[in-house]
Structure 1
Amino acid sequence: MTLTSKISGYDSRWPAMFLAEKERIAVTFAPDLVDIFHVGSTAVPGLSAKPEIDLLVEVREHRNEIARDSSMRMLGYVRGRDLSAGHHFYRRDIDGVRTHKVHVCVTGHWQIERMLRFRDLLRSDPTVRQQYQDLKLELEATNRDGIEEYLAKKAPYINALIGPPPA
């Protein structure tokens, strides 16, 4: 089984792709929008990644979810299962290929700080960035059961660097 996308070398267009999508989705989360951050591997210059732009949307509260889901559907997104309590998830595929993932969390949700801290660590530490890239490429090469296996096998490395998520 394959991942949602094949890992590729860093693409200097990823930041512009993030900015374009940030602008496109921002209205969906108004008036509760606090900020939209570029997270995940495509947010780290020089890091190989699945070419899927990750956006972290911070909102004051989750409300009008039916209207938000409808608006996101009109933009080509599908609501996935919540990744944790208060962590909503959307994905966008074009012609069967995953292109964007949107994580929506309320201000103060533990995942906001965690995603930003890991992104910033990868941006600032070339040794950690290279180790993480090597791990991702190894996991892609040995993957048998798809994205869930890939994520589960990355988790111990990430947790060792920034601590485990709350229980």
Structure 2
Amino acid sequence: MPLTSPIRPYDPRWPQEYAKEEARLRPVFGSALVEIHHVGSTAVPELAAKGEIDILAVITLAGAIKDWTQSLEELGYRRGGDLSDGHHFFKRDVAGLRAHKLHICREGHAQIDRMLLFREHLREHPVDRMRYQELKLKLERDNTGGIQEYLAAKEPFISKILSGLA
């Protein structure tokens, strides 16, 4: 079963695509936005990825997801399921392919540090970056259950890296 997008070699245009999308998203959150980051594999130079720009928006505890849903829909995003309490997910397709994934996390949520630490580790450790790339390509080749199978199979590698950083 295919993933949401095929994995392809790193594209140096991904940071610019992120910057454009960040500029579109910032006004949606207004003063509730604490910070916004490019995360995920497209944020790691030289790492093959699905070409889906992952964005992490950190919001204040006073912010409410219902306040932004309509504005996000107007920008082409649709609501995904909450990934955990305080971690909301939206996705945006362009020309039938997933283009952007938006993670909205409340300030202090554990997933914020997790995403940022893993991104930085891969940027700074080429051996782990290549091991992760090889794993992703293997999982894509062997995948029969779709994106959830792929994500679950990557998790042990991610957890092992992050446990060494604690």
TM-score tier (shorter): over 0.9
- How far apart in 2 are the matches of 1:113 and 1:62? 20
- How far apart in 2 are the matches of 1:93 and 1:62? 29
Gaps of 5+ in 2: none
Letter in 2 for 1:159: S
How far did 1:62 drift? 5.5
How far did 1:7 drift? 0.2
Letter in 2 for 1:94: V
- What SS does structure 2 have at the residue aligned with 1:154? helix
How far did 1:31 drift? 1.2
Structure 1 position 83 matched with structure 2 position 83: yes
- TM value normalised by structure 2: 0.96
Letter in 2 for 1:75: L
- How far apart in 1 are the matches of 2:158 and 2:122? 11
Letter in 2 for 1:61: L
2:131 matched to which residue of 1? 131
Q: 1:37-59: per-residue Cα shift (whole Å, max 9, x none)?
A: 00000000000000000000011
- How far apart in 2 are the matches of 1:132 and 1:65? 33
How far did 1:106 drift? 1.1
Gaps of 5+ in 1: none
Q: 1:126-161: per-residue Cα shift (whole Å, max 9, x none)?
A: 000000000000000000010000000000011111
- What SS does structure 2 have at the residue aligned with 1:163? helix
How far did 1:163 drift? 2.9
- How far apart in 1 are the matches of 2:64 and 2:108? 19
1:60 matched to which residue of 2? 60
Structure 1 position 120 matched with structure 2 position 120: yes
- How far apart in 2 are the matches of 1:159 and 1:122? 13
How far did 1:66 drift? 2.5
1:8 matched to which residue of 2? 8
Structure 1 position 157 matched with structure 2 position 135: no
- How far apart in 2 are the matches of 1:31 and 1:8? 36
- TM value normalised by structure 1: 0.95
Q: Percent identity?
A: 50
- What SS does structure 1 have at the residue aligned with 2:45? coil
RMSD between superposed Cα atoms in Å: 1.2
